[in-house]
Chains A and B, each alone.
Chain A
Amino acid sequence: MIGDFFILALKNLRRRKLRSWLTVLGIFIGITAVVTLISLSQGMRDSINEQFEKIGKSRIMIVPGGAFFGPMSSSASVDTLSEREAELVNKIHGIELASGIISDTGVIEYKDELESFSVWGMHTDSERTKYYKSIGLLDIGKGREFKASDNHKAIIGHKIAYETYEEDIHVGNKITINGIDFNVIGIQNEIGTGMHDSLIRIPIESARELFEKPNNIDVIIAKVADGENIDDVIDEIEKVLRKYRDVDEGEEDFSVQSSAQTIEQLNGILAMVQGVLVGIAAISLLVGGIGIMNTMYTSVLERRKEIGIIKSVGARNSYVSLLFLIESGMLGTVGGIIGLLLGYGFSKVAQLAASMFDVSLVPSFGFSLILGALLFSFLIGAMSGLLPARQAAKLQPVDALRKKR
């Protein structure tokens, strides 16, 4: 029975080929735009999330001053943190280990070339070295790790070693940081985030001397123990530090950020951009839907006689309405299928174009995107057909048979 309906609907659509194609065209242009935009922006989000996965989600950073983005902002505030506070955080239940870092910008000279990079002064005892490793901060590719006795030694990021200076820097080479000599003892593996690959790490004692920061530290990095709730731990850190620094809630002169929060913030921004773009593209889908409605109204008008005959031989109202709904749903679905294929093609083209500019942009086609696009286009078709189908169903057989058009 229902199969007959489909055959009938298909026949009707094919009877008016040009009109059907134009209507489908209206839908698939919109679906193409939406699918292309979603797959590209989803791909972008995936790659950002992947980079953060490498850093680890259980990492917490405490920086002085109001809430800004990351450790670089420490230069935008005059407040500082102290080793004492790092110890307090370290004692909090749920923290595996917390440690202070000095973060500043240094001018690095190698073979008479000057460049400026972020320099981190870090503790070098074996316990903390192991901990830094566990949060992905240390991933030595060449050379060795810091030893507790190291002084004026540096471990440099992949980008500094191989992509910055005319001559590559190797383990054993000498560089100067703000005019003071350092021996390169290690080079990190490429991590893929700009911040980590262009970072220089030196023992914290050297950093204190170099940047004239005898007591204070710029960032506290902490790792949440496995199985602990990160948000609870953050609340606890804020409470302890508020008490120590004697500030009220809401007036903190420090901020606690977890990498999970940073991901969330970034994802939030990307989702907004995605929303705006897809929203504008969806307008064309709306227009396409109105096109379906128009085609269906016309179709009802043209087929009044036919409807009259169907009804007079015993078709119920619901059958007539179903017949037209299937027809409009088909228009939508066919548009969706073509749009999906075209959208896939377009985002592959965009990927190719981006790779020519050395930008990696891998579109992501989730199952939900494919299914969602098809379902959505079917729904648009069916919904646009609702009113015309009702009009058709409500026709009186006698009137329908009598009226010419």
Chain B
Amino acid sequence: MLDYFILAVHSITARKMRTLLTMIGIFIGVAAVVSLISIGQGLQDAVTEQFENMGVDKIMVMAKGSFLGIGDKIFEDEDAEVIRKTRGVKRAGGMLYKSLQVSTRDETKYTFVTGIPQDETKEIINSMSSFTITHGRDLKKGDRYKAVVGSWVHQGKFFDRKVDIGDSIQVEGKKFEVIGVISEIGNPQDDSQLLISLDVARDVLEEPDKLDIIIAQVNPEENVEIVAERMSKDLRKSRGYDEGDEDFTVQTSAQLMESFGSIFAIISAVLIGIAVISLLVGGVGIMNTMYTSVLERTPEIGIMKAIGARNEDVFKIFLIESGILGLGGGIIGVILGVGISKLVEIGIHATGVTFISAYFSWYLIVGALSFSFIVGVLSGILPAMQASKLITVDALRYE
């Protein structure tokens, strides 16, 4: 068996240029696939992690067609009350977000301001968030014009000037005292936000009882999906909509995660599908090289057969040769692919989005290597069959 390998390696190294070109064909495709998968996987992991922080016992109620509640403000306190009273709900609370004008002494910018309730429903909102307070303190009941700021605001990455605890900051012309800073979340939007208490947010927006999104936590012994069903029914009734016509959506955190997952799956399938085409082309290249190799070595094959090599021996030699071409291309491709996605990762981090990192699972690497080996072997089957079926006398006589 080892002899076959030595023979194959020998004939591969005998034609360096052709081998190199054939391998380039494979490794370009493998590098594209590996880097696309690892970046896509990293993106998906980052999003999944954010959802996992929410916990599986949460249900979100948002305006239909909105993204996480950003859009029309359709809910009011009484909707939150309906949700709270739904059987199986432990507690529920709502939030308000809006992009508002925020200014320091010498700068004015727009950023998202989130109104968070400070009564007993605060806990549910906090249990969903992945951040902690790094400086100062959190908002508490009774706080009026106080604000907790994102880490970029604190570090001076949002405004030119750093904003510290005790500084004042204006939201739509109203003065707020900065009392705390939250830990870095890893994307520019969240790290530039301001958290204020819900009552104050409503004063500033002049919307006395509106809510963007209502979050409910389900009692531990209840089935989340069933409670969600019940909740949409109650809410439909109180808002006066028929089934299918409602202006809101009720989603459990598992459903939310699933819908994100399937979007990712579609996008990566399309991208990888297109990238795999180049692997296919690379495979055709291997086939071509192997046919050429068979042609060139026809007299050699004749000699091997004349001194007693069986058909399957000849077949094996050529198959191993094409497998090595594929695998060699795969190894270089994996190394290149890892390099490319590391470069992309550095690029992404440079824009301030630090929660996304390329992810290399061992089965991606093993998968890429075995796939390229298989491409090599498959492309070699026809040429190897041709070689093994050569008639000895004809082969010896050839040219």
Contact = CB atoms under 8 A, between A and B. Distances in A.
A320 interface: no
A251 B72 CA distance: 25
Contacts of A272: none
Interface in B275-290: 275, 277-278, 280-282, 284-285, 287-289
Interface string B276-307: 01101110110111011000100000000000
Interface string B70-88: 1111100000000000000
A251 B108 contact: yes
Contacts of A19: 288, 291-292
A297 interface: yes
B281 A26 contact: yes
B7 interface: no
Interface in B53-77: 70-74
Contacts of A113: 242, 245
Contacts of A307: none
B71 A287 contact: no
Interface in B96-152: 98-101, 108-110
B318 to A, nearest CB: 15
Interface in A258-314: 276-277, 280-281, 283-284, 286-288, 290-291, 293-295, 297-298, 302
A43 interface: no
Contacts of B278: 30, 283-284, 286-287
B70 A76 contact: yes
Given A77-B100, A78-B206, A114-B242, 10 more contacts: A18-B291, A22-B287, A33-B274, A33-B277, A105-B74, A251-B109, A276-B271, A284-B278, A290-B25, A297-B18
A61 to B, nearest CB: 18
A79 interface: yes
Contact of B288 (A30, A294, A405): A294
20 contacts: A19-B288, A19-B292, A22-B288, A30-B281, A75-B71, A77-B98, A78-B172, A113-B242, A280-B36, A280-B271, A281-B274, A283-B278, A284-B29, A287-B24, A287-B281, A293-B21, A294-B25, A297-B17, A298-B289, A302-B296
A75 B73 contact: yes
B247 interface: yes
Given A114-B245, A280-B275, A298-B18, A78 B204 contact: yes
Contacts of B292: 19, 295, 298
B266 to A, nearest CB: 14
A68 B285 CA distance: 50
A218 to B, nearest CB: 13
A195 to B, nearest CB: 13
A376 to B, nearest CB: 15
Contact of A116 (B247, B284, B291): B247
Interface of A is mostly: helix
6 tightest Cβ-Cβ pairs between the two chains A and B: A284-B278, A66-B110, A294-B21, A22-B288, A291-B285, A287-B281
A145 interface: no
A295 B271 contact: no
A286 B110 CA distance: 45
Contacts of A340: none
A219 B74 CA distance: 20
Contacts of A37: 274
B18 A280 contact: no
Interface of B is mostly: helix
B194 interface: no
A23 B288 contact: yes
Contacts of B282: 287
B24 A290 contact: yes
Nearest to A291: B285
A29 B280 contact: yes
Given A114-B245, A280-B274, A105 B72 contact: yes
A65 interface: yes
Nearest to B382: A18
A78 B25 CA distance: 57
B398 interface: no
A297 B280 CA distance: 21
Interface of B: 17-18, 21-22, 24-25, 28-29, 32, 36, 70-74, 98-101, 108-110, 172, 204-206, 240-242, 245, 247, 270-271, 274-275, 277-278, 280-282, 284-285, 287-289, 291-292, 296
- Interface-central residue, A66, A284, A286, by most chain B CB under 10 Å: A284
A65 B288 contact: no
B247 A66 contact: no
Nearest to A32: B277
- Interface-central residue, A281, A294, A295, by most chain B CB under 10 Å: A294
Nearest to A116: B247
Contacts of B277: 29-30, 33, 281, 284
A137 B28 CA distance: 52
A22 B289 CA distance: 10
A77 B99 contact: yes
B281 A291 contact: yes
A157 B205 CA distance: 31
A284 B280 contact: yes
A298 B297 CA distance: 13
Interface string A240-256: 00000001000101000
Nearest to A24: B284
Contacts of B247: 107, 115-116
Contacts of B274: 33, 37, 277, 280-281
A143 to B, nearest CB: 25
B281 A294 contact: no
Contact of A291 (B70, B100, B206, B284): B284
A66 B99 contact: yes
B28 A297 contact: no
A382 B24 CA distance: 19
B284 A26 contact: yes
Nearest to A75: B72
Nearest to A298: B292
Contact of B284 (A22, A76, A280, A302): A22
A293 B23 CA distance: 13
Contacts of B108: 247, 251
Contacts of A25: 281, 284
A76 B29 contact: no
A22 B98 contact: no
A290 B21 contact: yes
B267 to A, nearest CB: 10
Contacts of A284: 29, 277-278, 280-281
